[in-house]
Structure 1
Amino acid sequence: MDFQPSEEQRALRHGIRDVMEGRFGRDALRAAVEAPALDRELWRAIGEAGFFALCVPEDAGGAGLGLPEAVLAFEEAGRVLLPGPAVATFLAAGAVEGAAAGETVVTAVEGELVPWLEEADVVRGDADGAVAVRSVDPLTPLHRVPAAPNAGRDRRDLRDRRDPRPPRHPPAPAHVASLLRAAEQLGSAARTCESAVQHARSREQFGGPVGRFQAVQHLCAEMLVRVELARVAVYAAAVTGDRLEAAGARLLADDAAVRNARDCLQVHGGMGFTWESDVHLHLKRAWVRAGLGAGARQAEEDLAGAL
């Protein structure tokens, strides 16, 4: 089985990267941090570019692609720290009117948390009684839902604030959403690895670049290893679509995103903790993503139960 992206998939990834960096580059990221609100114009722009409709069948106006292509797209979204409930909106495309075009913003109850609840048009799951909580990530507002007696059951209803009718299609399996989160974490881990290497090459102390010090070299090498391990796992799970492989990929990707951001901070030194650097934003987003959905604990239980 060949896990390497094809020429068409590589072209898709480059195209998505151009869209993401062109529409949400560093200046836009900093502006969003200063005024954290969902940019509807940005949402429609990436919708018009076909991001949300990648897996919608061609006869329904989409690209008709599969999970491997979706993973490549979400990896690029993770690189730029795209704000907003992209996973929920993507999975609702084709089932919720306007989601594929970016006209409708869809969010979902993920475990006990709901991201971007107040900005969403459609809420997937039961968010009754949700209370706003302080989010460590300025670009991911969160609400916490009260624990329900049937919290262990799979909630599969779609609540549309404008149209309370039931959904036309059931939502995607939970492990698909988790794998797309893993792809976002992979993109973030890769970006912080690149940032650390770039800083190690350009930052000079004691008459030379800090990258000449063995301790810095080891940090960067460990970051690269985490990225590649997570990449193999995420890509493989995207090809097979297997629930357990997706659980393993999520564990590796969460670990890579969090630990790489921490090591990138260390390479940057004190500057990494300041607002002029983007490193701390990657760390905060990695923390928040790791807490959404079933998370590491459920992934570990799924894998342990299969042994």
Structure 2
Amino acid sequence: MDFQPSREQRDLRAGVRDLLAGRYGREALRASVEAGVGVDRRLWRQLGEAGFFSLRLPEADGGVGLGLPEAVLVFEEAGRALLPGPLVATFLAAGVVAGAAAGTTVVTAYDLDGPLVAHLAEADAVLGAPAPPEGEPVPSVDPLTPLHRVVRAEGADRAARTDPYRDEGALLTAALQLGSALRTVELAAEHARGREQFGQPIGAFQAVKHLCAGMLVRAEVARAAVYAAAVTGDGAEIAAAKLHADEAAVRGARDCLQVYGGMGFTWEADVHLHLKRAWVRAEQWRTAARAAELLAADLLASAPV
């Protein structure tokens, strides 16, 4: 089995990177942060027109007709660009909720543990729910991921609504985390090469080298796990991919902050945005605790009697 992306897949990834660079580059990201806009409706429709949300729909239904591995590559690029909004829920709703595939309908989901729903006030629909519920806003660490607490839906009801999508949602979220982790590796390496102390780049110092090397190793392990899970679609492998990707994104952003030093904690830097988004995503679709439980159950089930 070949886990390396094909030429067509690499071209798809490059095309999505170019698309996002043109439609949601750093200036657009910073403008969203300053305005506190989690979902840009115009950008959402542009993504729909480009086939972002309809990627896995059959061509007969107006989709692109690709598979889960291609979706993972696309979401990796979205994570790299810190593209905000309920991307996973809207993607999973394509073909189920009217307008989701075209990007004219914003769909969110009960994708966080507990009663929290991301982007509830900006969404037109909630995946698996007859209508968006009422919710009260709660503080969010990520300025581009507003959260609401829904108080009327019972926990079992919430779980039932997203269970059919849980594996794919976890894998696509892992792909977002992977893209963020790979981007923080780039940011750390660029800063280590350009920033000088004592007459030489800080990347020449052993402590900085170790930080960058650790970030790269975690990101590449996560990449292998996410790509493999995309090919096999196995639930246990998806759980492992989410675990690895969450660790790579969170620890990678924290180590990138260390490479940047005090500058990394300033509002002008983008590093803190990667860390805040990684914290939120780590609680979405499948937490570390739930992923570990699934892996343990799989190991016990496959253990010889």
Q: TM-score per shorter chain, which class?
A: over 0.9
Query: What corresponds to 2:117 in structure 1?
Result: 114
Query: What corresponds to 1:124 in structure 2?
Result: 127
Inter-partner Cα distance in structure 2 for 1:149 and 1:135 = 22
Mapping of residues 268-287 of structure 1, within 5 Å: 268-287=260-279
**Do 1:192 and 1:282's aligned partners in 2 also have CA atoms closer than 8 Å?**
yes
**Cα deviation per residue 1:119-140 (whole Å; 9 max; x = unaligned)?**
1011124564532110000000
Query: What corresponds to 1:85 in structure 2?
Result: 86
Q: TM-score, normalised by structure 2?
A: 0.93
Mapping of residues 1-307 of structure 1, within 5 Å: 1-37=1-37, 38-110=39-111, 111-112=113-114, 113-125=116-128, 128-146=133-151, 151=156, 154-156=159-161, 172-307=164-299
Give the 3-state SS of the residue equivalent to 2:13 in structure 1: helix
Instruction: Indicate the structure with greater helix content.
Output: 2
**Cα deviation per residue 1:81-135 (whole Å; 9 max; x = unaligned)?**
1011000000111121111111110000113221100010111245645321100
**Do 2:117 and 2:150's aligned partners in 1 also have CA atoms closer than 8 Å?**
yes
The farther-off stretch of 94-103 and 256-265 is 94-103
Give the 3-state SS of the residue equivalent to 1:143 in structure 2: strand
**Do 2:253 and 2:274's aligned partners in 1 also have CA atoms closer than 8 Å?**
yes
Gaps of 5+ in 1: 158-170
Query: What corresponds to 1:164 in structure 2?
Result: none
Inter-partner Cα distance in structure 1 for 2:251 and 2:157 = 30
**Cα deviation per residue 1:269-294 (whole Å; 9 max; x = unaligned)?**
00000011000000000000011123
Inter-partner Cα distance in structure 2 for 1:56 and 1:153 = 26
Give the 3-state SS of the residue equivalent to 1:173 in structure 2: helix
CA RMSD, aligned part only? 1.6
The farther-off stretch of 69-78 and 148-157 is 148-157
**Cα deviation per residue 1:219-268 (whole Å; 9 max; x = unaligned)?**
00000000100000000000000111000000000000000000000000
Give the 3-state SS of the residue equivalent to 2:240 in structure 1: helix
**Do 1:91 and 1:172's aligned partners in 2 also have CA atoms closer than 8 Å?**
no
How many angstroms does 1:180 deviate by? 0.2
The farther-off stretch of 267-276 and 130-139 is 130-139
Instruction: Indicate the percent of aligned positions where both proteins have the same amino acid.
Output: 67
**Do 2:110 and 2:159's aligned partners in 1 also have CA atoms closer than 8 Å?**
no
**Do 2:110 and 2:158's aligned partners in 1 also have CA atoms closer than 8 Å?**
no
